[in-house]
Amino acid sequence: MEEEKTSEEALKHGEAISEEKKIGEPVEKLSEEPVKQEEKKEEQKPKPKEPRKPFNAGNFYLNIKNFYDKQYKRLLIIPSLMLLLAIIAIGFQIAETGDFINKDVSLKGGVTLTIPLEKEVNILELQDYLSSQFKGEDISVRALSRAGAQFGILVEAGIDGTKQLEIDSLISSISSSLQIKLAEDDYSIEIMGSSLGASFFKELLIALLIAFLLMGIIVFIYFRTIIPSLAVILAAFSDIVVTLAVINLLGMKVGTGGIAAFLMLIGYSVDTDILLTTRVLKRKEGTVMDKVISSIKTGVTMTLTAIVAVIVTLILTQSDVIKQIMMIILIGLLVDLVSTWIQNVGILRLYLEHQHKKHAMKNE
């Protein structure tokens, strides 16, 4: 009997324990749910943004240097496209006008009138009026100013200066537009014959070609290697051709001063190219890229100094001839930054890589 009682008590005790477990289960589940909800809420909360890293000039310079070092072959596409588009633009210029450059009166012949005036003149209105009176002729009107004040006008007309009737007609048209009577003492006239202008232009082109040829010969004598020498000549050629194309697109008319500016541009271009080629080929210490970077520091400083001087001259000068010269040099210097430090650098590096492989094959 005692054993039966003990077994019944044990069973009751086991049932009580199981009931306690059953009762406790939902309590545990309820306690877990708020925890999970809190975790979800924490996950839904936006994570705080990481603070922006301050600009590091050193890293920026390093990234540019690495890109310039590794992508020099692809960068050669830029100067190649520039030269190709420039040649196409000059081709269109020749097809439309019969000449590769827009020449002013000093190169193609015509009449230049300088008229001092006390009152200001609307230049555009006068030019439009004269163009309507002399259709088919090149007419250019510019203001003469001093210390920011206009003191006269300069009229260039592509008429035949040997015919007095055409000159009188031009003076009469100017008088009619300005509503003043111009006597012989009220203006000065300069006549350039068409044959003389054409002859002068031909002589200037010959001088430009001779200067370019002599420059090429000196470069070949100095470096005594074909590819680097051709790279220098190609850079100078690119500077002249691209600058000429840009000037044509801007509608600038080039005179004798403009041709002189192209002669100066050859010197500016060759200066930086010889600096680069000499340091890369002649120096023994450092890698090729170290030599290039050293050349850039010196060459770009020289070019930027010249650009600043040209811009200051453009702002301060009142002479149209000097403005034309400075504008051509400014465009040429900007083009030279690409033709020297992208085109010439790429060609030199390809040349040196080829030479290195050639020596390696001989040693094997």
- Rounded CA separation 335/235 (Å): 10
- Rounded CA separation 13/15 (Å): 5
> Does residue 55 sit within a domain?
no
Evaluate if residue 13 carries a pLDDT over 90: no
> Does residue 42 sit within a domain?
no
pLDDT in tens, 50-85: 555 554 555 666 777 788 888 888 999 999 999 999
Q: Are residues 151 and 205 in the same domain?
A: no
> Does residue 92 sit within a domain?
yes
> Does residue 54 sit within a domain?
no
Least confident residue range of 31-45, 122-136, 164-178, 208-222: 31-45
Name the average pLDDT for the chain.
80
> Does residue 215 sit within a domain?
yes
Q: Are residues 144 and 245 in the same domain?
A: no
Ordered DSSP codes for 296-349: HHHHHHHHHHHHHHHHHHHHH---HHHHHHHHHHHHHHHHHHHIIIIIIHHHHH
Q: Which of 144, 162, 192 is the last residue of a domain?
A: 192
| 146 vs 172 pLDDT, higher one | 172
Q: Which of 161, 192, 223 is the last residue of a domain?
A: 192
Q: Are residues 187 and 201 in the same domain?
A: no
| Per-residue pLDDT, 243 | 95
Q: Are residues 226 and 353 in the same domain?
A: yes
Q: Are residues 167 and 203 in the same domain?
A: no
Mean pLDDT of 243-272: 89
Q: Are residues 89 and 128 in the same domain?
A: no
- What CATH number does the domain containing 89 carry? 1.20.1640.10
Question: What residues contact 249, with CB distance under 8 A and at least 6 apart?
Answer: 89
Question: What residues contact 204, with CB distance under 8 A and at least 6 apart?
Answer: 107, 256, 259
Split into its structural domains, the chain has a count of: 2
> Does residue 4 sit within a domain?
no
| Per-residue pLDDT, 15 | 52
> Does residue 136 sit within a domain?
yes
| Per-residue pLDDT, 86 | 95
pLDDT band of residue 282 (cuts 50, 70, 90) is: confident
Residue 220, H or E segment: helix 194-223
| Per-residue pLDDT, 87 | 95
Ordered DSSP codes for 18-41: HHHHHHHHHHHHHHHHHHHHHHHH
Reference 339, options 272, 246, 244; nearest CA is 272
Q: Are residues 280 and 352 in the same domain?
A: yes
| 28 vs 144 pLDDT, higher one | 144
| Per-residue pLDDT, 148 | 67
Residue range(s) defining the domain that contains residue 350: 75-102+196-363
pTM reported for the whole predicted model: 0.74
Q: Are residues 205 and 162 in the same domain?
A: no
Q: Are residues 92 and 223 in the same domain?
A: yes
What is the amino acid identity at position 303?
A: T
What is the amino acid identity at position 330?
A: L
Mean pLDDT of 293-313: 93
Least confident residue range of 195-204, 206-215, 261-270, 334-343: 195-204
Q: Are residues 239 and 314 in the same domain?
A: yes
Q: Are residues 350 and 259 in the same domain?
A: yes
| Per-residue pLDDT, 140 | 81
pLDDT in tens, 320-350: 788 889 999 999 999 999 999 999 999 999 9
> Does residue 62 sit within a domain?
no
| Per-residue pLDDT, 144 | 77
Reference 243, options 227, 232, 254; nearest CA is 254
Q: Which of 164, 192, 220 is the last residue of a domain?
A: 192
